Structure 1
Amino acid sequence: MKDSLRFVKRGLLSALPWALALPAAVWAVLRLAGWDTWYPMAQLMAFTPYVAAGSLVPLAVLLVWRRWTAAAVAGVAALALVAVVAPRFLADGDALAGARGQALRVMSANVLVGSAGPDTLVALVREHRVDVLALQEVSPDYLAAADAAGMRDELPFRVDYAVPGVEGSAVLSRHPLRDDGVRVNPGGFRQARAEVSVPGGGSVLVESAHPLAPWADFVTPLWARGFDDQPRATPDGPVRVLLGDFNATLDHHLLRELIDSGYRDAAEVLGRGLTGTWGPYDGNMIPPVTLDRVLADRRVGVRDFRVLDLPGSDHRPVYAELVLP
């Protein structure tokens, strides 16, 4: 009996170092390989920054314990995870931000089926002198309430595809615009599109992004297809700005591929890419993740980026001051 217990104890002690090292190693492989379009990994991948920070703990334990082989595996995994996350809080030193081009102040807000306070949203628009506002989950009643609070005085031009429920979308502008139609993603989420005429800055294509969230097994393929349909950057054509609730983070390869088409993420350019924009909400202890963002083509400078507060919504608005070429 004692021999059996000794054997079991020896086996557990041999397995424990690998139990500490392998979770981060597996996560790193999935992240680097882009194997994230299956449920629930599509959801879990959003928490990679927390995994990167947590991967240092088993590494420290294994080093103190002197389990060198397992520590080496844990070290490589931690290094890989930190390497993909760290650039988000390292500013790029954007030379385009100091250019003399026309400034364009943009903001995106998911108003949670009209639950966010319209008065607060209008106050944010005034405070930051927003030129273009992209809205998601916006209903006709919410737009009417925002107009009653003064929104139309600030942003009189609009492309309005608001509907009751979560599918509504709109682009509101201080400058004249042309209705460029609506993109309907798999699952029904709408994306209002507009061509905004900016005085002294030409025209800018603006779209309010909102792919379906990968909240269950059967909708995850629809989420992936939604990214296939997102407009690629046009760095050799019209200036394009894509902003909204992307329901993805920089750890999802679908979003990275979209950015690699010629966009720049305004938050990452200024080293503010780890500020959470979604969660926790409704009493859930979900760590914040970064789902909302402003993407502009690589000719556009980024002078400012901020994550704001909008009580009543589970998302925080994002604001950027861009410099048009």
Structure 2
Amino acid sequence: MDRAALTTSPGTTPPATPTAPTTPAAPPSPPLRPRHRDRALAWAAGLLLSVPAAVAACRALDEDGITPFPQLLSFLPWLTVPAGLGLLLAAAARRRTLAFVAVLVLTGTAWASLPYTPTLVTPYGPSLARIRVIAANVEFGQATGSLIALARRERPQLLYVSECDPACGRALATALTGLLPHRVSVDAEGSAGSVLLSAYPLRDRSVVPSTMGMPGATATVAGRSVRLQLAHPMPPLPGQVGLWKTELARLRDEVAARPSDESLIVAGDFNASQDHAAFRSVAAVGLLRDAARATGASRTPTWPAEGPLPPYVQIDHVLTTTDLVAGATRFPSLPGSDHRAVVADLDLQEGR
């Protein structure tokens, strides 16, 4: 072929080069849900649920267990918050089984937080006497002045004072001699001292063996014998949970040993809430009623009343036999102490 024939003349269009047919582009696939995020949410939910589940199980099994469970039981009502967050995270992770477990944990924690009271016998008959009780921890005697002012204002017939050293005891006796002339005490320094002051004459004085003073005595009120017992066992700190249980058990034995026809008021700093089995055993053995529970105030916190945290647990109680009916319960502040006081108005009724 002549080379000139292959040369394109000016102004002419070269022949088109054949091309392969094109395939239409596939539509973009939706982004995949990141599995690592789901896994992280599931792990976070499991961690949040583990503590409420374990603590609620202790409550359901009526056991305080070992450290850290006695300490965590003080937070039981508040553990519904991490349980609820765990449920939300389990749902966000789309783990049905985990979400079902979270529902069970949240329900169990909320159920365990319901107020506790033993089986009660309904009292009957007219009221024989009105008794006002104050239970207060004055924190190494620092709130003695505040307690004197409170007692003068409230005018109780019975005053249970924990952590009252000899100087505190002398100050109370001097300031309140006209109001509460009778007393039984454990005279010791620091937190070991305790005083029980009474408007009624006292007899049968005794002391429950304990690290901190737990004195008791018997009074006659409107012709009835009423046993008075101050409570102040050791707190359940790590390393002394066994001692805490032992001292609450001694208090329980003291309650159980009283005559069945004798009225009883046990009050003070129990270092235990209604969520602790050791505390409930004291109430159950004598069919005692918590004055705060009877007046709808069983979740009113009394400790810690000073420091960075607001009060979150009720560890100060007034427990009574069923013939002593609580009409009102209040928790006034006590400047100088890390506890709120408990003021309970009780009606001593004729029937049991």
Q: Do both share a fold (TM > 0.5)?
A: yes
- Point out the more displaced range, 127-136 or 65-74: 65-74
- 1:82 equivalent to 2:117? Answer no
The aligned counterpart of 1:216 is 238
Contact preservation (8 Å) 1:98, 1:303: no
Contact preservation (8 Å) 1:109, 1:318: yes
Contact preservation (8 Å) 1:206, 1:241: yes
Alignment RMSD (CA, Å): 2.7
Which of 183, 205, 220 lines up with 2:227 in the alignment? Answer: 205
Aligned equivalents of 1:168 and 1:273: distance in 2? 27
Structure 2: 5+ residue stretches without partners: 1-33
Structure 2 CA distance for partners of 1:216 and 1:17, relative to 1, 3 Å: closer
Contact preservation (8 Å) 1:95, 1:301: no
The aligned counterpart of 1:3 is none
- 1:104 equivalent to 2:148? Answer no
Contact preservation (8 Å) 1:205, 1:240: yes
Structure 2 CA distance for partners of 1:111 and 1:20, relative to 1, 3 Å: closer
Which of 32, 36, 43 lines up with 2:64 in the alignment? Answer: 36
Amino acid in the other structure paired with 2:140? V
Normalising by structure 2, we get a TM-score of 0.80
Amino acid in the other structure paired with 2:330? R
Shift of 1:285: 2.6
- 1:277 equivalent to 2:277? Answer no
Which of 119, 124, 127 lines up with 2:153 in the alignment? Answer: 127
- Point out the more displaced range, 56-65 or 234-243: 56-65
Aligned to 2:139, the other structure's residue is in SS state coil
- 1:308 equivalent to 2:332? Answer yes
Q: Provide Cα deviations, 1:186-232, integer angstroms capped at 9, x if missing partner.
A: xx21111110121x251210011001112231x21111111110123
Structure 2 CA distance for partners of 1:110 and 1:16, relative to 1, 3 Å: closer
Listed as ranges, the matches of 1:252-263 within 5 Å are 252-261=276-285, 262-263=287-288
- The structure whose residues are more often helix, as a share, is 1
Contact preservation (8 Å) 1:235, 1:299: no
Aligned equivalents of 2:169 and 2:337: distance in 1? 15
Structure of higher CA gyration radius: 2
Aligned to 1:309, the other structure's residue is in SS state coil
Aligned to 2:191, the other structure's residue is in SS state coil
Aligned equivalents of 2:329 and 2:91: distance in 1? 40
Shift of 1:84: 2.5
Aligned equivalents of 1:17 and 1:111: distance in 2? 42
Aligned equivalents of 1:222 and 1:130: distance in 2? 32
Amino acid in the other structure paired with 1:214? P
Aligned equivalents of 1:276 and 1:20: distance in 2? 24
Normalising by structure 1, we get a TM-score of 0.86
Aligned length: 311
Aligned to 1:229, the other structure's residue is in SS state helix
Aligned equivalents of 1:9 and 1:129: distance in 2? 62
